[in-house]
A and B are shown apart, each in its own frame.
Chain A
Amino acid sequence: MKINSVLSNGKVVSQSKAKLKTEAVNLYYGSFQALRNISLEIPERAITAIIGPSGCGKSSFLRIFNRMNDLITGARVEGRVELDDINIYDKSIDVVELRKRVGMVFQKPNPFPMSVFENVAFGPRRHGKNNIGELEDIIERSLHQAALWDEVKDKLGQSALSLSGGQQQRLCIARVLAVEPEIILMDEPCSALDPMATLKIEELMRSLAENYTIVIVTHNMQQAARVSDMAAFLMMEEDRAGVLVEYGPTSELFTNPKDKRTEDYITGRFG
């Protein structure tokens, strides 16, 4: 699919290359087909939202990009999934290295039961960084990027569980940023947060999109509309397999969708 549109941050997508690409992807859980024939290109340094009714395979699709589905017994992917033109399902791919490049933020904030500092230091330590000066730099940078530094700089030693829900989620984003990924996958990152904390995360996403490629799954259509540059609408076919109905610039998908099924979904006529 050719992507050429001006993003909300003024960038022209056709000039920013596709960071991720799927070609005729099928996903099976045992004999059940969860996704069918999905081909799309996700632009670099932009936010792409995946929307669709419950059970249409949004989260399954997101987990393809860091091979999280590998952890599910019986899961099988057909087709090509490329990161920077390299097939990430190739036998030569180191999955640990892949997940360092493709970070993930989950629905519920899930900080480790340790200090704020140790939460963010966890990833870098696992990747062999133990110099405390270097770790301090990484932690300050990551917390700044996650728009959390000012709120926690005086309590880095406190338990992460003492933070509010919104702060915990930004801590989880800082934890992802600490290992310097290129892509951040977000699986309904605001569904456990109140409206103000949600707006803060959305604004944070916009600033992160300057440097990172973000893919977000959300059941909140308004959030997809507010925050994303590109939007993909998935829905289930009769055999319950998820298919891609429409994919394009968010401004077009929400003002003038090409497919009647998209129109019906976003106007609340089904779903």
Chain B
Amino acid sequence: MEIRTTFHKKLREIQDEVLVMGSMVGKAITSSVKALKERDLDLAHQIISDDLKVNQKRFEIEEKCVELIATQQPMASDLRIIIAILNITTEIERIGDYAMGIARIVIMIGDEPPLKPLIDVPRMAEQTVDMLRRSLDAFINRDAEAVKKIAAEDDLVDNLYDQIFRELLVFMAENPKTITRATRLIWTAHNLERAADRVTNICERVVFIVTGKMEEIGASKY
């Protein structure tokens, strides 16, 4: 029979909010690449203003965690969950910042003609958002095995980044007039590469919840 039902209900509510925050940020990443692809400046501005809501959500979650620690004296896995949430929300918030970074690049590019059709950048975004979503599912399900696989998929994102980097180097070498546009695309790819690294950090926190061990999994080459 569960005894501390009130406390555990509150803890579940906070975890639900982490999922909401994760979905806000996943959407921001997807939208940022859509804005880049479609040169949608309105959407880019929208992403920047929505980032305030993400930051706000993060503070709300943190406050609730602090309150639970101060008032409920969480122990063992309950304590690890709350500590992990404090870290996970920081990671999600940073992923949100990367989406905002891409939105700023979109605004900088403005209506310049595209350098090339975007293929690998959307792939990177898709892979990153998928990893984020699955890492948060694993967080809810306390699935340490799943997160190890997800963290390993960071290599796919890194490989795409390498590919984009090499390709754009060729563009720049062949025609120095493309340097500005190519550099901006490299920045975009770099934001996505970092976002995926943040997902691996979330994965590490899930391992911590399940095993109590703090260990690095799937170290990124960057």
Contacts and interface: CB of A to CB of B under 8 A. Distances in A.
A225 interface: yes
A61 to B, nearest CB: 22
B51 to A, nearest CB: 26
Interface in B1-55: 3-7, 10
Given A255-B66, A255-B67, A225 B73 contact: yes
Given A225-B72, A226-B73, A254-B71, A206 B66 contact: no
A225 B70 contact: yes
Contact of B71 (A200, A203, A226): A226
B3 A200 contact: yes
A8 B70 contact: no
Contact of A8 (B3, B10, B66): B10
Chain B at the A interface: SS class: helix
B62 to A, nearest CB: 11
Contacts of B67: 251, 254-255
B6 A196 contact: no
A250 B3 contact: no
A203 B66 contact: no
A251 B67 CA distance: 6
B71 A199 contact: no
A222 interface: yes
A254 B71 CA distance: 7
Contacts of A255: 66-67, 70
B194 to A, nearest CB: 33
A199 B70 CA distance: 17
A251 B65 CA distance: 11
A222 B7 CA distance: 14
B40 to A, nearest CB: 39
Contacts of B73: 222, 225-226
Contacts of B5: 203
B70 to A, nearest CB: 4
Nearest to A199: B3
B1 to A, nearest CB: 9
Nearest to A205: B6
A186 B25 CA distance: 47
B4 A8 contact: no
B6 A206 contact: yes
Interface in A1-46: 8
A198 to B, nearest CB: 10
A226 to B, nearest CB: 6
Interface string B52-90: 000000000000001100111100000000000000000
B59 to A, nearest CB: 14
A251 B6 contact: no
B6 A254 contact: no
Interface in A113-159: none
A199 B6 contact: no
B70 A203 contact: no
A251 B10 CA distance: 13
Interface string A94-123: 000000000000000000000000000000
B91 to A, nearest CB: 24
A222 B70 CA distance: 9
Interface in A205-242: 206, 222, 225-226
A185 B169 CA distance: 76
A203 B73 CA distance: 15
Contact of B7 (A200, A226, A250): A226
B3 A226 contact: no
Given A225-B73, A254-B70, 11 more contacts: A8-B6, A199-B3, A199-B4, A203-B6, A225-B70, A225-B72, A226-B71, A226-B72, A226-B73, A251-B67, A251-B70
10 tightest Cβ-Cβ pairs between the two chains A and B: A225-B71, A254-B70, A251-B67, A255-B70, A206-B6, A199-B3, A222-B73, A254-B71, A226-B72, A255-B66
12 contacts: A8-B6, A196-B3, A199-B3, A225-B71, A226-B7, A226-B71, A226-B72, A251-B70, A254-B70, A255-B66, A255-B67, A255-B70
